[in-house]
Structure 1
Amino acid sequence: MAVETIGHLLKRLRDERGWTQQQAADEYCRVSGTITKDAREVGRWERSTRIPTPETRRHLAVVFGVSAGILDRAAAAAREARHEEPAEGGAPAHEEAIEVDRRRFVGALAAASLSTAMAASRHVDPALIPYFQQQLEGHYRVDMMLGSRALMGTVTAQCDLIGQLVDAADGPTRQRMAHVGVSYAAFAAWLHLDAGEPTTALRWHDAAQELAHRSRDREAVACALVDRAMARTDQTMGRAVVDLCEGALIDAPRLSPEVQVFALQQQAHGASLLGDRRQVDELLDKAGRLVDAVDVEMWGTACLRTPHYVEVQRATCYGRLGLAREADRVWQEIIPSAPPTARRDVGVWAGRQAVAAAALREPERAVELARRAAGIVMETGSERARRELASVETAMAPWQAEPVGQDLAEVLAPIGKGV
C-alpha cells in the first residue's frame, strides 16, 4: 500500500478538523512558539512545494494529534515522488539550509525591532499577554509528548523576551507581563531540571521569584517558592523543602486550590526526605481533598494534566521512604491507566516501580519495567527517567552476576555507561 505524501496527509488532517489554512497556521504557531507561519506556508506544505523540516514535523504531530513517525514517512514519500535524496536528519539539504537562514533572519529582525521599539517608546501592547499565555499551554503539551530538550531553546528565548518586555512596559501591563513571566521562568527551570541541569534551573527559579514579586501577586510568589522547593527536593534538602512550602502556605486560605495542592504535595516530598510517613500521608490526603476543587490550571502545576496527580506523589514518597510494597501497589494502579500524552512521565514512574520490584526481590519484573523506562529515555532524552534507571541499577546489584543482571545491563547499555 502506497504511503500518503506529506502534502496530501496534512490537507486531509486539516480537512478532517474543518480548519482553514490560516486556522492550521495559527494552531501551529500556538504549539511551536513561533509567530512567522501563515496560510501561504501551510499551502506550500500541502502542495509539497516545501517539505516541513524534522523540527516542524514534530510540532505538526502535536497540532494534528498524530505520531511524528507518520509525518516522517509521508515526507519521505513526497521526496521520493520528487526524486530527492534526503539529507542526514530527514529533510533535503537545501530545505534545511533555507529554514536555518530564515530563522536567523527572523530572529535578528525581531531582536533589532524589539531593541529599536524599546529605545523609542515604553509602550508594550497588552495584547501580547494572552499571546504568551496561549503559547505556554502549547509548550506544556509538547513537553509531555516530546520531552524537555525539544523546547528548551524556544522557552528560554521567550523568557528573555518577556523579561525585556517587563522592563519596557508601564504600570498594570508591566505587572501582568511579570505575572506571565513567572510561569515561563518556572517552566524553563522545570525543563532544565528534567534535562539534568540543576544549576541552570536554579537561575531560572531566581528569575521566577523576582518576577513574582514584581507582579505583586500573592499566588505568583507562593508558586515561585514551591518551584524552588522542587529543586531542593532533587538535592535531597528536606528541611529547605518543608520551610519553603510552609512559607508558600502562610496565606493558604487566600490561595487558590491549585496553588494549595501544589504546595502541599511538595511539602510531602520534603517530609519523605525527613523520614516522616505520617506527615506525608496527612499532607497528601489534604491535597487530595482539594484537587476536585481545581477546575483550571493557572500556574502550570500539572495537577490536572497529570493523571492521578496526588497518588503519583504518594507512590514516589513511599519509594523514598523505603516502603516498596506500598509504592508498588500504588504504581500498579497508576501506570496502566496513563494516557499516551503522559509517556515521558511513565518512563519516570516505571523506573521508580522497577526499584520497588527489586526491593521486593522480583528482579525479572524489575528488568521488564526498566526496559520500558529505557525505551522512553531513548525517545525523550529525559534525564529524570535516566536517573531513575541509575537507581534501578543500584537496586539490582545483588543479581549483577546472574543472567537477570546481564539482561539489565543489556537494557541499560544503549543509554550510556552507568546510566
Structure 2
Amino acid sequence: MISPDGVGHLLRGLREAAGYTRAEQAALLERIGDRFVDPDNIKRWETEKRLPIPDWHELIACGYGISVDEVRKAVAASRRHRRLASMATLLEDDQEVLPVERREFLGVSALAAGAVIEPWGRLTAAVTGPRVGSEMTSQLVDTTADMFVRGRHLPAQLLAERLAGHLETLTALIPRAGAHRTALLVAAGETAALAGWAAYDTGNVKTALHYYKAAALAGREAGHPPVMALTMGYASYATDAGKAREMLAAAQSHVRGPGYATARTWLAGREAEEAAAVGDREGALRSLDRANTAYDYADPDAEQAWVRFCRRPRLDSLMVSTYARLCHPDLERAAQDSLDHLGDDTSMTAVAVLSDAATGYVVSGEVDQGVEVGRRFVEAATANPTTIGRKRLAALSDLLPLQHSAARDLSEHIRASLAA
C-alpha cells in the first residue's frame, strides 16, 4: 500500500492538479534541471516502487512548486510506511500461513467452512445461506464490540469459545458480503486479535500466534491499519522487550488522526514499559509523555471497543510499571494515584493496576502498603485467572523482602496459590 501521507500521493496529486501527464511532468523537470528525466521515474515515485533519492529533492521541489522540506518529509513518511509494512511480516509470515489457511480465513472456500463437509452440503449452504445486508453487518459489528467489553469480566476459556463461534460466522459470511465485506473483515480481524489474546491468557502461545497472523491478514485485506495496531499491541506481550518495543512503536503509526487517542495512549504507555525494561530511561519517559498527551484527547467510550479498558487507572498503572523499572522518584505518588482512580473496579483491568501499584510500593520502600495492595491483587488475580496474572503474581512474590514478616507471608501465600 502507498503511504497516505507519503511522496507518491503528494506528487501524483500535484501533477494531476496541474493537469500534466507523467510525460509532460518529466519534460518540465528536464527543462528546469537541464538533465534527463525518464517518465517512468515519475511513475515509480507516484507508486512508491522507488523513492526519490536526495539528489532529486531540489529539482522535484522546483518542478512541483513546493519546498524541499515538504519533499523530504513526504519521502520520510513513505520510508516509515515501508518499515511498518516490514514490521507486519512479524505477524504475517507467509511461510508459516499455509495457502489453505489464507483461503479459509478470507472465506473463499465454502460457506461455513469446516461445518459443512460434503459437496452437496456446501452447495446447499451457499444457496440458502443468509444475504448480508446493512442490518446484519451492524449486528455482527456490535457483537464484535460486545466481545471486547465482556472480555473484561469473562474467564479466558469461556471467552475463547465464544470468539471462535463468532469468528466462524464472520468467516462464512465474508465471501457473500458484497459492499459490506470491508466491515466484516475489520470485525473478523478484531475478533481474531482478541481470540489470540484469549489463547495467550490460557497459555496457548502457538494458537495465539496463528490468531494474530490471521488478524493481521484481515486488517491488511480490509485496508484498515488500526487492526494491525491492535494485533501488535496484544502480540507485544508474547515477545522479548526489544522486539516488543519496535512492534509498539510501529503500532502507533497505524492509529493516527482523530478517533484513536485512546489507542495511542495504550500503545505509547506499553512502549514506555518496554523501553524501561531495556534501560532506556529517556525513551521511556518520552513515551509516557506521548501517552499522557494522547489521553488528554481520549474518549474511551466513543472510540474503539477494544480500548475501553484503557481509562485513567490503566494509564496510571503503566506509569507505575515504567517508574518501578526506572526507580523514578514519583513512583510512590503514581502508585497511589492508580489506586485512587481504580476505586472498586473488579474487572481484568484491576489485576494490572493492583499488580503495578503493589510493585510500585515495594520498590519505593513502602513495603507495608505494598503488602496491603498485594493482598487485593492476589484476590483479584485469583478471581480472574490469566497467564499474565500468574506471571505478575510470581514477579511480586520474587520481589517481596523475606525479612519483612508480612511480606514473607504474602510471598508464601502467592507461591502456594500458583502451585495449586
Q: Same fold (TM over 0.5)?
A: yes
CA shift digits 1:168-216 (9 cap, x unpaired): 2244222211011121112222223333433322221111100001112
Asked whether the 8 Å contact 2:361–2:369 carries over to 1, the reply is yes
1:184: which partner in 2? 191
SS in structure 1 of the partner of residue 357 of structure 2: helix
2:216: which partner in 1? 209
Q: Which amino acid aligns with 2:145?
A: E
Q: Map of 1:8-157 to 2, 5 A cutoff?
A: 111=115, 118-120=125-127, 123-157=131-165
Q: Normalising to structure 2: TM-score of the pair?
A: 0.62
Shift of 1:112: 5.6
Asked whether the 8 Å contact 1:144–1:344 carries over to 2, the reply is yes
1:64: which partner in 2? none
SS in structure 2 of the partner of residue 145 of structure 1: coil
SS in structure 2 of the partner of residue 252 of structure 1: coil
Q: Map of 1:277-288 to 2, 5 A cutoff?
A: 277-288=281-292
Asked whether the 8 Å contact 2:140–2:187 carries over to 1, the reply is yes
The correspondence for 1:311, drawn from 313, 316, 321, is: 316
The correspondence for 1:416, drawn from 390, 395, 418, is: 418
- Please give the alpha-carbon distance, in whole angstroms, between the structure 2 residues aligned to 1:234 and 1:181: 21
2:53: which partner in 1? none
SS in structure 2 of the partner of residue 130 of structure 1: helix
- Please give the alpha-carbon distance, in whole angstroms, between the structure 1 residues aligned to 2:221 and 2:328: 44
- Please give the alpha-carbon distance, in whole angstroms, between the structure 2 residues aligned to 1:412 and 1:251: 38
- Please give the alpha-carbon distance, in whole angstroms, between the structure 1 residues aligned to 2:309 and 2:382: 26
Q: Normalising to structure 1: TM-score of the pair?
A: 0.62
CA shift digits 1:288-319 (9 cap, x unpaired): 22334334554334256533443332222222
Greater Cα offset, 260-269 or 376-385: 260-269
2:406: which partner in 1? 404
- Please give the alpha-carbon distance, in whole angstroms, between the structure 2 residues aligned to 1:339 and 1:195: 27
- Please give the alpha-carbon distance, in whole angstroms, between the structure 2 residues aligned to 1:228 and 1:245: 10
Shift of 1:350: 1.9
**Aligned CA distance change for structure 1 residues 231 and 247 (closer, same or farther; 3 Å):** closer
Larger Cα-atom Rg: 2
Q: Which amino acid aligns with 2:369?
A: R
The correspondence for 2:207, drawn from 200, 212, 222, is: 200
- Please give the alpha-carbon distance, in whole angstroms, between the structure 2 residues aligned to 1:298 and 1:156: 24
SS in structure 2 of the partner of residue 416 of structure 1: helix
SS in structure 2 of the partner of residue 220 of structure 1: helix
- Please give the alpha-carbon distance, in whole angstroms, between the structure 2 residues aligned to 1:246 and 1:413: 37
Q: Which amino acid aligns with 1:416?
A: L
- Please give the alpha-carbon distance, in whole angstroms, between the structure 2 residues aligned to 1:345 and 1:247: 21
The correspondence for 1:375, drawn from 368, 373, 379, is: 379
**Aligned CA distance change for structure 1 residues 195 and 373 (closer, same or farther; 3 Å):** farther
1:30: which partner in 2? none
**Aligned CA distance change for structure 1 residues 211 and 334 (closer, same or farther; 3 Å):** same
Asked whether the 8 Å contact 1:186–1:208 carries over to 2, the reply is yes
SS in structure 1 of the partner of residue 305 of structure 2: coil
2:48: which partner in 1? none
The correspondence for 2:334, drawn from 305, 330, 333, is: 330
Asked whether the 8 Å contact 2:321–2:356 carries over to 1, the reply is yes
Q: Which amino acid aligns with 2:235?
A: A
**Aligned CA distance change for structure 1 residues 140 and 176 (closer, same or farther; 3 Å):** closer
- Please give the alpha-carbon distance, in whole angstroms, between the structure 2 residues aligned to 1:248 and 1:381: 29
- Please give the alpha-carbon distance, in whole angstroms, between the structure 1 residues aligned to 2:235 and 2:150: 22
- Please give the alpha-carbon distance, in whole angstroms, between the structure 2 residues aligned to 1:309 and 1:178: 29
Shift of 1:147: 4.0
**Aligned CA distance change for structure 1 residues 235 and 172 (closer, same or farther; 3 Å):** same
1:159: which partner in 2? 167
**Aligned CA distance change for structure 1 residues 386 and 251 (closer, same or farther; 3 Å):** closer
What 5-or-longer segments of structure 1 have no aligned partner? Answer: 1-107
Structure 1 residue 232 and structure 2 residue 236: aligned?
Answer: yes
Asked whether the 8 Å contact 1:145–1:343 carries over to 2, the reply is yes
- Please give the alpha-carbon distance, in whole angstroms, between the structure 2 residues aligned to 1:264 and 1:174: 31
SS in structure 1 of the partner of residue 388 of structure 2: helix
